[in-house]
Structure 1
Amino acid sequence: MSRFGFRRGVAAVLAAGSLLAGVSFAAPASADAYDPGAVPLSQYAPAGAHEAVSTAAVYPCQALYAVYDAVGHVLGNHSNMTCTHEFPGGLDSPVGVDFYYPKDIATMTRVPTVIWIPGFSSEPGNYDASARLWASNGFVVAMPHDLINSLDELPLAAAGALSAANRDPRNVLHGRLDLSRTVIGGHSGGGGAAINGAGIPPNIYQLIDPEFRIIGAVPTQPGPVAAAFLVNVPTLYLTGSADFIVPHFLPRLVEYELEFNAPAILVCLKGVTHWTPFDDAAHNPMASITLAWLRYLVDGDKTAASYFVGPDWKLRADPAVDYALRNGRADNLPAA
């Protein structure tokens, strides 16, 4: 499939990377009910009604990523890691923006968007299962990448690619994207970049596209070098009790505890390692929790909201959760 010509414009977008971040929270009413199923949220990843497609095909991992895959299996992953042909797993450019989207997007209107930044030395294909889960549930996922995947230029590159796709009459995404409902996330170093991206002032994004708004963030096992004190949108931090690369207490101490200006929730999941986000969606509880967070933020879905807001928020009692924290601002998040 075509990459929509994204690579031609990515260098210009990356040049804006020295600029820094934030935005306000507003969720419209939900059009569709969110049904997480009868089992705990953290152990169920409901595939959506849409077939998910991507702009970059995935293959069994080779070279460096084959080693990553082997480590993942040693640590308990259930599925093989997937890769694109982007360097160092192949000879394609390591710099670009890959997209996942509902195959029937031509029949849809105003689809919310997700920016997802891979971890340091990772690439979009490694997160294929999670991205397909989110796209099957009606989201367009943009994955900017440059192999380092840790700096502020990537959120801006993704914003530029989303805007370009939405404006291009030749693009399948043309006119279908609701850029005012964008959530930013990422894993590891990409999680740190997502925090920084959520701290970029709204007017900077609106120089790229006047409609662009970041309404929330979901950094997953984020690298500890990020300016959380600049974030002004609701943020869900996901960590793992068995993560020895980014131990759960690091994001808690240097990011969650420093997010003074926005609602923040931190969840530590039992037995989750730094490789869990590479696993299939059924064995990656972070994928399904992220889906619920997306549904709450973009739709104001009441069922999804019940896991995060109110005095009896359900995620705290989920059997797969080691512990969950919520700051004072998050205590006052609206239920819908």
Structure 2
Amino acid sequence: MRMRSAITVALLLLGTLTSGTVSATADAPPSVLAGSGPYSAGYETTLRLANHTIYRPNTLPTNVRLPIVAWGNGACRADGTWFQNILTEWASHGFLVIANGRPGGSGSTDSDMLIDSIDWAIAENSRIGSKYRGRIDTSKVAVMGQSCGGIETYEVADDPRITTTVLWNSGLLRDSQNYLLSRLRAPIAYFIGGPSDIAYPNAMDDWGRLPAGLPAFMGNLDVGHFGTFDQPNGGEFGRVGGHWLKWQLKGDPTSRAQFVGPDCGLCATDWDVLQKNLS
């Protein structure tokens, strides 16, 4: 049974880092934020997906297609630039990352917004006149979120288009939500901030309830609920999350080696690693 005080639950839903807000107009050109990958990346907005922020290479590559990554913010906060360091980092490695909320936005999000992101990207890939036409890999989709955004991720994880789900500093809050675990169908990864993370006990409880045979990875790094999101390029969370995306959405063998087997790349590091059904 999950034991959560009202204060602890409130903290989990409050999310993480603080940052300056950035305003942007609809259909604005991408900002230049960079990232460590081969593509300088930034974010933009569009009237066709008015309540989201789109991170992508500032110059769209012509020789590769961008897999889709839908992101839910901590606190279910509708600010699409709240996690801009880590989202820019992933975009710089050739992903189309779509965050719930407009740049500097306020209010709350919901899980339907993650589905809106996927629907928009798939439509843009085929829409005549779209700059994304033919440049998105619509067969490769990750849905992920931090804290409250992780709960949003669970809520849509049965969508058959999803290739992988990822939870950051998150876990179900109540036993009445356990049915969501039975609906998981794609490989899942948890990146948690260790025992000092208020989401740690719930994430570990979820880990023990995963469906039999589901490929799963659990990584704990002792950084607490705030993670490394506010560090340049998202810090260690950005690096490891990029590897998971490159393995799951691009089939990269070097990234796969970070997670698979007793000698995995993360196994002999500060990460505390658990694995299920990975191959």
Separation in structure 1 between the aligned mates of residue 119 and residue 163 of structure 2, nearest angstrom: 17
- Look up the match of 2:274: 325
- Look up the match of 2:42: 53
- Look up the match of 2:192: 239
Counterpart selection for 2:125 from 149, 163, 166 = 166
- Look up the match of 2:155: 196
The answer to whether the 8 Å contact 1:114/1:185 transfers is yes
Shift of 1:179: 1.1
1:156 aligns with 2:115: yes
Counterpart selection for 1:301 from 252, 255, 258 = 252
- Look up the match of 1:76: none
- Look up the match of 2:52: 97
Shift of 1:313: 1.7
Shift of 1:158: 1.3
The answer to whether the 8 Å contact 1:256/1:265 transfers is no
Shift of 1:282: 5.0
Separation in structure 2 between the aligned mates of residue 117 and residue 287 of structure 1, nearest angstrom: 15
The answer to whether the 8 Å contact 1:192/1:222 transfers is yes
What TM-score does the superposition give when structure 1 sets the normalisation length?
0.64
Count of residue pairs the alignment pairs up: 236
Shift of 1:299: 2.0
Contiguous gaps of at least 5 residues in structure 1: 6-45, 57-94, 203-212
Shift of 1:54: 0.7
Render the CA deviation track for 1:38-84: whole Å, top value 9, x for unaligned: xxxxxxxx81111102115xxxxxxxxxxxxxxxxxxxxxxxxxxxx
Separation in structure 2 between the aligned mates of residue 97 and residue 177 of structure 1, nearest angstrom: 17
- Look up the match of 2:91: 135
Paired AA for residue 185 in structure 1: M
Separation in structure 2 between the aligned mates of residue 283 and residue 273 of structure 1, nearest angstrom: 14
Shift of 1:283: 6.0
Counterpart selection for 1:250 from 182, 194, 202 = 202
Separation in structure 2 between the aligned mates of residue 283 and residue 308 of structure 1, nearest angstrom: 19
- Look up the match of 2:4: none
Render the CA deviation track for 1:300-326: whole Å, top value 9, x for unaligned: 2111111111332221211x21x2111
The answer to whether the 8 Å contact 1:102/1:138 transfers is yes
Contiguous gaps of at least 5 residues in structure 2: 1-23, 29-34
The answer to whether the 8 Å contact 2:144/2:168 transfers is yes
Render the CA deviation track for 1:242-280: whole Å, top value 9, x for unaligned: 64442x121110x2222214111111102x122235412
Aligned Cα root-mean-square deviation (Å) = 2.5
- SS of alignment partner, residue 260 of structure 1: coil
- SS of alignment partner, residue 82 of structure 2: helix
**What is the correspondence of 1:257-336 to structure 2 with a 5 Å cutoff?**
257-261=208-212, 262-270=214-222, 272-281=223-232, 284-318=235-269, 320-321=270-271, 323-327=272-276, 329-330=277-278, 333=279
Shift of 1:121: 4.5
Paired AA for residue 156 in structure 2: G
Render the CA deviation track for 1:120-160: whole Å, top value 9, x for unaligned: 253221111111111111111011248433x4312211112
- Look up the match of 1:74: none
Shift of 1:223: 4.0
- Look up the match of 1:60: none
- SS of alignment partner, residue 54 of structure 1: strand
Dislocated runs of 4+, deviation >6 Å: none
Q: Relative CO higher for 1 or 2, CA cutoff 8 Å, sep ≥ 6?
A: 1
